[in-house]
Amino acid sequence: MPVSSFLQWLQDTGFSTALRDSTWAEPVIETIHVLTLTVFLGFTVLLDLRLLGVAMRHKPVSEIFGELNPPIIGAFLMMLTTGVLLFCGDPVAFYGTIFFRVKMIMLILALLNILIFSSTLGRRFSEWEQNPNTPAMAKLAAILSLVLWAAIIAAGRAIAYAVPPP
Amino acid sequence: MFFAAVLKTFCEWCDNSFFGSAVRNSRWLFPFVEIFHLLALGVLGGTILLINLRALGLRFRRDPVSEVARELQPWMVGSLAAMLASGFFLFSSEALRMYFNLAFRLKMAFLVLAILFTFTLYRRVTFSKETRISPLKLKLVALLSIVLWSGVALGGRAIGYTRQVRTETRIMILALPPKCISW
């Protein structure tokens, strides 16, 4: 089934119609989506700053990862759920804007960045984490993460301009 | 009332200022500044929340509260400054309209309380040695901080729903990219 007819089918489902027609669904979901940024983005930035060696330098990286990862993952799942719901309310229009597609591509890149980091340097924290100066590859991963998440948020804001809430 | 008159005059001055009209008359300046407001929101919310999670005993239990609070203080103050600066520019493009906006007034009331609280009692309690502050007091202060800052954030979100989407910005955003090809 081509993407466009799938999206049209999704848009015509009772679920999507209910999301669109409800007065409160969009504002409530959107507010949760935006305010979860404080947990997701805030904690991710702190992780990245530690990887850059600028914040919480004397705490071992693995301790910070251990403390921050659970809330980051929880917040990400919350953003994912609310994001999917927002998409379901208006799938054709979302897919029609370039910002949505760019955001999805950058999202995949950001997750790949995490995957690569955790399967390389993230597997051997003990070898490098006591040193306040982090390895160049860790710094690179942190900068990629900061740039990608900032761009993802910018694209997300642009989607809301391009597809105004009902 | 004298206070209200002063505030209103200040809003009119902002509306007529060169930066106020610059943001208002530019298509891209508003969304550009808005992105920084959002990014700073993430960092400010994250640092405050982390200090509070530590105070509530939910994160970084092995480290003293004062250590976490002191460590995060510069990031909190820096991101707060970024929020205030970017927020002021956004505000100045529609100051008088915001003066009459209930959500904005609510946000400002919470903001004043949150800032006063954060730099007085909150700072004293989170910077003190643990043994000198009762655990109950610490937890109450953390909860109050969460309530006050949540009020600011929700007020901010409500502003977005109580004012019209800027048509010029929307037109610009829509005109920005080449038309989507259908994949």
Tell me the whole-structure pTM to 2 decimals: 0.91
Q: Which of A6, A32, A41, A52 to mutate to probe the B interface, most B CBs <10 Å?
A: A41
Closest CA to A88 of A155, A157, A29: A29
Distance CA A63, CA A43 (A): 14
Closest by Cβ to B34, choosing from A35, A101, A157:
A157
Does B38 contact A37 at a Cβ distance shorter than 8 Å?
yes
Total domains present in chain B: 1
* DSSP for B22-85, written as a single string: HHHH-SSHHHHHHHHHHHHHHHHHHHHHHHHHHHTTSS-TTS-HHHHHHHHHHHHHHHHHHHHH
For the ranges A135-139, A140-144, B163-167, the one whose mean pLDDT is highest: A140-144
Q: What is the pLDDT of residue A19?
A: 93
Q: How confident is the model at residue A124 (pLDDT cuts 50, 70, 90)?
A: confident
Domain membership flag for residue B74? yes
Average pLDDT estimate for A29-44:
94
Cβ atoms of residues B98 and B104 within 8 Å: yes
Q: How confident is the model at residue A94, as a pLDDT?
A: 94
Q: Is B138 exposed, middle or buried (0-12, 13-18, 19+ CB in 10 A)?
A: buried
Q: How far apart are CA B114 and CA B119, in angstroms?
A: 9
With a pLDDT cut of 90, the percent of chain A lying above it is 72
Tokens at residue A124, please?
């051997």
What are the tens digits of pLDDT across the range A67-91? 999 999 999 999 999 999 999 999 9
Q: What is the pLDDT along chain B (183 residues), one digit of tens a residue?
A: 788 999 999 999 999 999 999 999 888 899 999 999 999 999 999 999 999 999 999 999 989 999 999 999 999 999 999 999 999 999 999 999 999 999 999 999 999 999 999 999 999 999 988 777 888 999 999 999 999 999 999 999 999 888 776 777 777 777 776 555 554
pLDDT at res. B179: 57
Q: Is residue B111 part of a domain?
A: yes
Kindly list the domain boundaries of chain A, sorted by start residue: 3-162
* Chain B interface, best mutation among A29, A38, A47, A145, by max B CB count within 10 A: A38
Instruction: Tokens 């200040």: give the residue.
Output: B10
Tell me what the pLDDT averaged over chain A comes to: 92
**Domain contains B113:** yes
Nearest to A31 among B45, B157, B182 (CB): B157
Whole-number Å distance between alpha carbons of A38 and B52 = 13
d(CA A53, CA A66): 17
| Residue with the two structure tokens 């901010």 | B156
**Residue A75, pLDDT score:** 97
Rg (CA), chain B: 20
Residue type, B22: A
Indicate the pLDDT class of residue A166, thresholds 50, 70 and 90: low
pLDDT (average), residues A131-157:
93
In a domain, B152, yes or no: yes
Q: Is A103 exposed, middle or buried (0-12, 13-18, 19+ CB in 10 A)?
A: buried
Q: Is residue B178 part of a domain?
A: no
Domain housing B66: 12-162
Q: What is the DSSP string of B70-131?
A: HHHHHHHHHHHHHHHHHHHHHHHTTHHHHHT-HHHHHHHHHHHHHHHHIIIIIHHHHHS-GG
CB-CB under 8 Å, B35 with A157: yes
Q: How confident is the model at residue A3 (pLDDT cuts 50, 70, 90)?
A: confident
Q: What is the Cα–Cα distance from B70 to B129, expressed in whole angstroms?
A: 12
